[in-house]
Amino acid sequence: MLAWQARYNSKFTSANAARGTGAGVVARAVATQNQTREINQVDPAVIFGKRKTIEQVEEGAELAPRFDANGLIPAVTTDYQSGELLMHGYMNAEALTLTIETREAHYFSRSRQAIWHKGATSGLVQKVVELMVDDDQDCVWLRVDVAGGASCHVGYRSCFYRKIPENNSSSPLTLEFTETEKVFDPEEVYKGQPNPTKL
């Protein structure tokens, strides 16, 4: 066994042994879309480690996410079975904590400046099968099963339903639709709700 493999295996074993220790549970009322629910939320200050060294962040077994100047971390979401890219969003510390605790995707809406429980209004809940963090812990990847088969508020399966074709000479450039049929009618599903897209 190479020296680096022995170090890695030692860290991995120690980290697994440390799991399950008390995680500071806090009861809190959380507003998600147009509903409020009481949850026993894990305290972010307890479950997130402090970023001390590059080795700790890149090679260590502590979750020590790096939130940007606005307190946000990018979140990429894909279908667990197909690998299809469904959406990209952002989480603040509370949204990431809620996602970890409930195993349902929660994001932070920059347009509404509020926690957003995906599917709270539409029923298109994203059940988190696997939650990954990248090498420098400044991005998370959710692999999800989606109730209802769609993640886009416009009604398509994926938020990425258009592509920028090659040899495009129009001005402005013309987008090409990769999905031609909507999974649901957003006018019915989100009736009375404000559109999150801002001009």
Residue pair 30/92 in contact (Cβ under 8 Å)? The answer is no
Give the residue extent of every domain in the chain.
24-149
Q: Could you tell me which CATH class the domain 24-149 is placed in?
A: alpha beta
pLDDT at 41: 59
State what percent of residues in the chain have pLDDT above 70: 79
pTM for the model: 0.77
Q: For the chain, where are the alpha helices, taking DSSP H only?
A: 3-18, 44-47, 54-59, 93-102, 186-189
pLDDT of residue 12: 39
- Which among 104, 101, 93 has a CA at the least distance from the CA of 65? 93
Residues of the chain predicted below pLDDT 50: 1-37
